[in-house]
Chain A
């Protein structure tokens, strides 16, 4: 482990001691394994070592390509705490992620699809620009509710969102009309409420708009 760090420092013509301050918080977690071969480290530790090696020459910009894909919720939180620490030391971080809960933690987000950037804004800005009224629906039978919503002519889009389905309606449609139609199908314990959009709702909307846009052209 130690050899890896020294090797990367040497490649960048610097010494571990010169920039130790930057990696200290992460490195102390690794220290007990100083003499261990990198190949014998656990996945989480390897990831931390890789981060130290990437930082040892005190770069101005740190590029992270899906650093948390396949990583569990708890370790992901720890990783983002480390990123916060690096940011406070003035390092610019460009990070890609498929997790929308991580997107919210960024200062600004760019959404990219098929080689072009669909939008760049702050998380708040993206959420505020959501163009439709958004509703959350649930019922005892979630599977049947999903089918009913997808087949309903008032419904513009419908996506599963853990214990809710998120629904947008066509312009001028009153949610009450949808509610009544759904009740008539015999769905029990039906709830339909207006909610603010999340980042995930916004990305789905933007991606879908882009998809339908490109398929119209072809």
Chain B
């Protein structure tokens, strides 16, 4: 694997008063890697992700995302990343074409690029017949494909996926991971959170966060052998049982 570092965090912290939401986390993610960011509810994953996306200024520590500083270059960070979550990714009351135009515009694509890439995307996804339909009317599997494609339309260096498969059926989940692999093959770095432990196995490397701290960071097989565990489920339960904090 290519060892070019695209995310670098050093003792990155976020405190709210006395509460250490994220407590000195350090890690690197490489270009084209699928990096799983695991942790129990309330462990600090979302807070950490917000800092990495340039949406929240850290209390202390350092981090560079695609070469940009999380304190001073948040706008450049936003242009070089994509973001998708299960909770929010597309506007249901806009059409397919409108969503593409809206998000492409937000990600800074020129009007010309937007037209070309938008049309390409609709063709690749086979959504020609649906372009002027409301997103709300699409089946979940298509919505997800579209949401992911929109998040990488501007060819970001990194795409952040926050529980992209939450509440999704077994087949659609697997189809979604096919998309993740394709994007990683194109050199896009994938930073993904999930509560499905089988998906943790599909990551190149992963970290497990407990109470604001990264407690494990390795390949799936490396993490399992360190804990003498047969499955990621066991690793997770072992680590999360020691947690002091309760849920988000």
Interface size class of B (residues with CB under 8 A): 20 to 34
Is there contact, CB below 8 Å, between A75 and B41? yes
Q: Which of A47, A74, A98, A200 contacts B40 (CB 8 A)?
A: A74
- When distances are taken between beta carbons in the complex, the residues of chain B under 8 Å from A159 are 171, 174
Asked if A72 meets B169 with Cβ closer than 8 Å, knowing A42-B247, A43-B248, A44-B246, the reply is no
Cα–Cα distance between A66 and B168 once the two chains are bound (Å): 11
* A contacts, CB < 8 Å to B: 42-45, 47, 66, 69-77, 98-100, 143, 159-163, 200, 203-204, 207-208
Cα–Cα distance between A77 and B174 once the two chains are bound (Å): 24
Closest-by-CB residue of A relative to B236 is: A73
Is there contact, CB below 8 Å, between B241 and A74? yes
Asked if A44 meets B41 with Cβ closer than 8 Å, knowing A70-B167, A204-B170, the reply is yes
* B contacts, CB < 8 Å to A: 39-42, 86-87, 163, 166-171, 174, 177, 181, 195-198, 201-202, 220, 231-233, 236-237, 240-241, 243, 246-248
- When distances are taken between beta carbons in the complex, the residues of chain B under 8 Å from A43 are 41-42, 247-248
Closest chain A CB from B212 CB (angstroms): 15
Closest-by-CB residue of A relative to B231 is: A162
- When distances are taken between beta carbons in the complex, the residues of chain A under 8 Å from B248 are 42-44
Is there contact, CB below 8 Å, between B170 and A203? yes
Closest chain B CB from A120 CB (angstroms): 17
Closest-by-CB residue of B relative to A163 is: B201
Asked if A72 meets B240 with Cβ closer than 8 Å, knowing A98-B168, A98-B169, A162-B232, the reply is yes
Is there contact, CB below 8 Å, between A71 and B41? yes
Cα–Cα distance between A67 and B223 once the two chains are bound (Å): 29
Quick one: which of B87, B177, B195, B237 has the most chain A CB within 10 A?
B195
- When distances are taken between beta carbons in the complex, the residues of chain B under 8 Å from A98 are 166-169
Asked if A208 meets B171 with Cβ closer than 8 Å, knowing A43-B42, A74-B240, the reply is yes
Is there contact, CB below 8 Å, between B166 and A70? yes
Is there contact, CB below 8 Å, between A73 and B195? yes
Q: Which of B170, B177, B231 contacts A207 (CB 8 A)?
A: B170
Q: Which of B42, B86, B171 contacts A204 (CB 8 A)?
A: B171
Closest-by-CB residue of A relative to B224 is: A163
B-side binding surface: helix, strand, loop or mixed? loop
A-B contact pairs, 12 of them (CB 8 A): A43-B247, A43-B248, A44-B248, A70-B41, A70-B86, A72-B39, A72-B40, A72-B236, A74-B243, A98-B167, A160-B202, A163-B220
Cα–Cα distance between A158 and B171 once the two chains are bound (Å): 11
Is there contact, CB below 8 Å, between B170 and A72? no
Closest-by-CB residue of B relative to A44 is: B247
Closest chain A CB from B222 CB (angstroms): 13
Is there contact, CB below 8 Å, between B171 and A207? yes
Is there contact, CB below 8 Å, between B171 and A74? no
Asked if A162 meets B197 with Cβ closer than 8 Å, knowing A43-B247, A69-B167, A200-B170, the reply is yes
Cα–Cα distance between A42 and B21 once the two chains are bound (Å): 14
Q: Which of B42, B87, B201, B237 contacts A73 (CB 8 A)?
A: B237
- When distances are taken between beta carbons in the complex, the residues of chain A under 8 Å from B174 are 159-160
- When distances are taken between beta carbons in the complex, the residues of chain B under 8 Å from A42 are 42, 246-248
Quick one: which of A69, A72, A163 has the most chain B CB within 10 A?
A72
Q: Which of B181, B195, B198, B236 contacts A162 (CB 8 A)?
A: B198
Which A-B residue pairs are the 4 nearest by beta carbons? A44-B247, A162-B198, A162-B201, A69-B167
Is there contact, CB below 8 Å, between B195 and A70? yes
Closest chain A CB from B201 CB (angstroms): 4
- When distances are taken between beta carbons in the complex, the residues of chain A under 8 Å from B201 are 162-163
Is there contact, CB below 8 Å, between A73 and B240? yes
Cα–Cα distance between A204 and B172 once the two chains are bound (Å): 10
Cα–Cα distance between A143 and B204 once the two chains are bound (Å): 11
- When distances are taken between beta carbons in the complex, the residues of chain A under 8 Å from B240 are 72-74
- When distances are taken between beta carbons in the complex, the residues of chain A under 8 Å from B247 are 42-45, 47, 75
Quick one: which of A160, A161, A203 has the most chain B CB within 10 A?
A160
Cα–Cα distance between A73 and B233 once the two chains are bound (Å): 7
Q: Which of A69, A75, A160 contacts B166 (CB 8 A)?
A: A69
- When distances are taken between beta carbons in the complex, the residues of chain B under 8 Å from A99 are 196
- When distances are taken between beta carbons in the complex, the residues of chain B under 8 Å from A204 are 170-171
Is there contact, CB below 8 Å, between B169 and A207? yes
Closest-by-CB residue of B relative to A47 is: B247
Closest chain B CB from A118 CB (angstroms): 12
